[in-house]
A and B are shown apart, each in its own frame.
Chain A
Amino acid sequence: MPTINEKLTEEIRTQAKALLADGTVAAVIGYSRGSLPMTVKPTVVRASEDCGKLVWNSFCVLNLANYLPEVLKSVEPPRGPRDPKPEGPLAKVAVLATGCWSRNIVVQTQEHQVDRDRVVVLGVASRGMVSRRKVEEQFAGREILAVEEFDHDLVIKGADFEEKINRWSVVRDNCQTCTRPDPVLVDVRIGEPASERKNPNPFQQVDKIEEKSSDERWAWFTSEFSTCIRCYACRNACPLCYCPTCFVDDAKPQWVGKSLDAVDTGLFHLLRAYHCAGRCTDCGACESVCPMGINMRMLTKKLNKDVLNLYGMEAGMQPASPLPLTTYATDDPQKFIVTEAKAVKEGE
């Protein structure tokens, strides 16, 4: 009997083939098999006969929305920066999207990076993606040569061992706390829709750090980010980072030094997270691609918590309203504002 993911793979291939064959879309963004166990490659398929290489499994950790603006540009007829937009409708692009990725597409639409009319969303309900790191930690010192996936278990195979582990136990932290596995945008449905998951406190990991004292939090921050090698994989994997010149590349003024100095790496992570405030959907791509295993997601998650508590907004959930930091209310909280009334009182 085929597993859930085998069925989804088959459905993705059929739908992609149909969309490409009848010319609805010029390209499909999906995944193909990776060269190592537990890896997949983000792939752009442009011909219907290539659809057979598309796959879907529990290791699709990268956010495909990241590639959407670029692929959309690639299917447009070539033109210079000052040339007028070509007349008539432009070619469309189909993209696979789970809950968080589809919310990123909403954010990209709100920020005018993506034209919603040119995107065909192949909506897949996410079952939670597996963290390769978590699996490798369980098999420390042993080389994993192949991983076979079943609905609720993974079978890990090496040269001299074969072990079965529970799939959910190695699912990424952000997927375990996720409440919205089902895409918010669906043009073509793949598989069955998923219901909203119940999670009384999705911010539990953040709360744990908040409970600590200021000194302990500083100790946590410095040790967590001390191993950063400034490869910027977290930035490059993020669908929110599309600035032509990133603040880390600015030389005049140089906001963040380019060295591996602890303060520079700390500032890089603070600013990177802050730039995602109100836009991050907690897709976990940054953490998944980090070669050093840094949990930089804690910073963006903290900002997500504040944006939700202070402004009642969640990225990608309110397509009609502006992004939280591009708008304001007359009664916004004033926690950090020193008012003169307070100043006079404290001065007395």
Chain B
Amino acid sequence: MSKTNKTSETNMTSETNETDTWEPKIIAFLCTWCSYAGADLAGVSRFQYPPNIRIVKVPCSGRVSENMILSALKSGADGILVSGCHPGDCHFISGNMFARRRSPLLGNLLEFVGIEPGRVSFSWVSASEGEQFAEIVKTVTERVKALGPATRLIKKIDQAA
């Protein structure tokens, strides 16, 4: 997890300078049972989707804590996507339901402190929904592209010194 963030951070700083060719970096936390398998299916079925997402495989969407989401933002991610099984389909019975409970609280809190709405998204994708996964990634990428590069809550090491 920290490795992914570090790479995205170094790449980010070099890329933000070239605004014309800017492509957002989106960290996608996918649950291993549904959404990750859905992404796999999208790949196997050759559905095209934007290559902007960096996938982090997690055991369950309920495993994704606010620490991880904020840590990804801090490291320079332009967008976050958390995706799990559809309600009722969770491998652990209710992990995604707890994730759904938490999602509006974190989303609203981030909006409250001035993070643009649309940076953090959540979704449900089952293992058989390859096409839907591609659609969701397209929507999320377009949304983040419209917002532009993230500038808030990013820790810039060179400036901190």
Please give, as numbers and ranges, the residues of chain A lying within 8 Å of B142 by CB-CB distance: 346
Q: A263-B153, A337-B103 in contact; A247/B139 too (CB < 8 A)?
A: no
Which A residues from 162 to 180 make CB contacts under 8 A with B? none
Interface string of B42-75 (1 = CB under 8 A from A): 0000000000000000000000001100110010
Which of B71, B74, B112, B121 lies in contact with A299, CB distance below 8 A? B112
CA distance in complex: A219, B115 (Å): 11
Q: Does B100 contact A (CB under 8 A)?
A: yes
How many Å from the CB of A309 to the closest CB on chain B?
A: 10
Measured CB to CB, the closest approach of chain A to B10, in angstroms, equals 17
Binary A-proximity of B120-143 (CB < 8 A = 1, otherwise 0): 111111000100100110111010
Choose one: B104, B114, B135, B154; the contact of A347 (CB below 8 Å): B135
Of the residues B97, B103, B114, B120, contact of A218 by C-beta under 8 Å: B114
In the bound complex, how far is the Cα of B109 from the Cα of A233, in angstroms? 22
Q: How far is the CA of A266 from the CA of B73 in the complex (A)?
A: 12
Instruction: Give Cα A216 to B113, complex, Å.
Output: 9
Main secondary structure on B side of the interface with A: helix
Which residues on A sit within 8 Å (CB–CB) of B67? 247, 255, 271
- A337–B103 CA distance with the chains assembled, in angstroms: 8
A336 pairs with B122, CB closer than 8 A = yes
Of A221, A306, A333, the contact of B113 (CB 8 Å cutoff): A221
Q: Is the CB of B113 within 8 A of A342?
A: no
* A219, A259, A339, A340 — most chain B CB neighbours (10 Å): A340
Q: How far is the CB of A339 from chain B (nearest CB, A)?
A: 7
Q: Hey, which chain B residues are within 8 Å of A330, CB to CB?
A: 87-88, 97
- Min CB distance, A118 to chain B, in Å? 31
**Chain B interface, number of residues (Cβ within 8 angstroms):** 51
Instruction: Name the A residues within 8 Å of B103 (CB-CB).
Output: 335-337
Q: Which residues of A contact B111 (CB under 8 A)?
A: 214, 217
Q: How far is the CA of A55 from the CA of B24 in the complex (A)?
A: 60
Residues 284 to 343 of chain A near chain B (Cβ within 8 Å):
299, 302-303, 306-307, 310-311, 324-328, 330, 332-340, 342-343
CB distance from A336 to the nearest CB of B (A): 4
Contacting residue for A306 out of B108, B121, B132, CB 8 A: B108
Interface residue A196 (Cβ < 8 Å from any Cβ of B): no
**Are A299 and B70 in touch, CB under 8 angstroms?**
no
A264 touches B2 (CB 8 A): no
Q: How far is the CA of A264 from the CA of B153 in the complex (A)?
A: 8
Chain B residue contacts of A215, Cβ below 8 A: 114
Does B22 belong to the interface (CB within 8 Å)? no
| Minimum distance in angstroms from B9 CB to a CB of chain A | 12
B1-40 residues with Cβ-Cβ distance < 8 A to A are: 1-2
In the assembled complex, A210 has its CB within 8 A of some CB on chain B = yes
A18 within 8 A of B: no
CB <8 Å contact, B138 and A267: no
Q: With an 8 A cutoff between CB atoms, is A277 at the interface?
A: yes
Min CB gap B92→A, angstroms: 13
| B138 contact set on A, CB distance < 8 A | 343, 347
Q: Which residues of chain B in 96-119 are interfacial with respect to chain A, using CB atoms and an 8 Å cutoff?
A: 97-98, 100-117
Quick check: A340 and B136 within 8 Å, CB to CB? yes
Query: Bound state CA distance, A253 and B113, in angstroms?
Result: 25
* Contacting residues, chain A, for B71 (C-beta < 8 A): 253, 255
A270 at the interface (CB under 8 A from B): yes
Please encode chain A, from 240 to 271, with 1 for each CB lying within 8 Å of some chain B CB and 0 for all others: 00000001000001010101010110110011
Q: In the complex, which residues of chain B have a beta carbon less than 8 angstroms from the beta carbon of A306?
A: 104-105, 108-109
Q: Given A215-B114, A255-B70, A257-B155, do A336 and B109 touch, yes or no (CB 8 Å)? A: no
* A-B contacts, 14 listed (Cβ < 8 Å): A214-B116, A218-B114, A218-B115, A263-B154, A267-B74, A267-B153, A271-B70, A310-B104, A311-B101, A325-B101, A328-B101, A330-B88, A335-B104, A346-B139
Top 7 nearest A-B pairs by Cβ distance? Answer: A218-B114, A340-B132, A328-B97, A217-B114, A221-B113, A343-B135, A263-B155
